[in-house]
Structure 1
């Protein structure tokens, strides 16, 4: 009788452990939030993004408790006056792979008016033996056609965001660095196209 009870207990522990591992893989761990001021991210094509976080006025409630507020509170600029599009992804994420051809379509449609920047975060949400090797394989297998940000300052951005809720996470910032909108998950290409068109038309571009 005791052996049966022990066996049931062991099975329950194993099931709980498996669920916990899957949960950690799907939901990135929270990171301590940090304030960003002139944080530079260098893409592998040499382009540099400068990220600033707007300071709160006295009496305002802190905006650091929810992911949308943090994204909205960032300013992202570069040497080019175009719409910057950050694409957070992991190499094991199937929806991330699925959305890549649609991003290519948008780049072909809008040309130099937009610029995509891929930000892989495998090493920030779990243990990865060869992060850059995994990214290189992902790049080749998926014919990735966007500059990648692989430098160590990705960690500072990730900390400021407090982690992210999932991938792909796509965030758009205007030609002057202002936040436009962000999307979580594999969304229709037409939705991004509509928001890009609206923003460009408002700016007369």
Structure 2
């Protein structure tokens, strides 16, 4: 006899804040919840050398400040904390940043894979994917999505 479980939990500390994110993923229901978090949120996947990602960061920084909407950045392809800190400073990233490969891998799997960047995935207050934007996305489209979710 054996049991299968599709629920997994992972904890990741944001590099540029004191925030610790405890994610719980239910693969059967396709729900990604953040512990003690009961509102809609977004996850932004990017890489250091992606031109479209570099253009997306200032847009997301503005939205993060203006709308007070939770957006978590996930930096792919970085091995060391110092490298991630340098990139965060160079890009003037205001968003909470997760850089560890285990965070990138876990969150990528939770959104059915990331095959190119930038990708912004919006989740409703229940942790269900509401929409996935691939490529550089204009501010107006993102703000409209946030209005629907708030």
Q: Pick the aligned partner of 2:134 from 157, 167, 184.
A: 184
Q: Structure 2-normalised TM-score?
A: 0.80
Q: Pick the aligned partner of 1:122 from 72, 77, 87.
A: 77
Q: Structure 1-normalised TM-score?
A: 0.60
2:98 is aligned to 149
Q: How does 1:49-128 map to 2 (within 5 A)?
A: 49-55=22-28, 73-111=30-68, 114-123=69-78
Q: Pick the aligned partner of 1:42 from 10, 13, 21.
A: 13
1:107-133 per-residue CA deviation (whole Å, 9 max, x = no partner) reads 12211xx2111111114xxxxxx5433
User: Cα offset for 1:153?
Assistant: 3.1
Q: Is there any run of 5+ residues in structure 1 with no aligned partner, and where?
A: 1-34, 57-72, 124-129, 201-205
Quick one: structure 1 residues 102 and 163, their matched pair in 2 at CA, closer, same or farther if it must change by over 3 Å?
same
SS in 2 for 1:118: strand
SS in 1 for 2:67: helix
Question: Pairwise CA RMSD of aligned residues?
Answer: 2.3
Quick one: structure 1 residues 152 and 89, their matched pair in 2 at CA, closer, same or farther if it must change by over 3 Å?
closer
What is the CA–CA distance in structure 2 between the aligned matches of 1:195 and 1:167, rounded to whole Å? 19
Mean CA deviation greater in 46-55 or 189-198: 46-55
Quick one: structure 1 residues 36 and 134, their matched pair in 2 at CA, closer, same or farther if it must change by over 3 Å?
farther
What is the CA–CA distance in structure 2 between the aligned matches of 1:122 and 1:81, rounded to whole Å? 30
- Count of residue correspondences: 142
SS in 1 for 2:8: coil
Contact 1:36 1:160 in 2 (8 A): no
Q: In terms of Rg, which structure is larger?
A: 1
User: Cα offset for 1:161?
Assistant: 5.5
Contact 2:40 2:124 in 1 (8 A): yes
User: Cα offset for 1:184?
Assistant: 0.6
1:25 is aligned to none
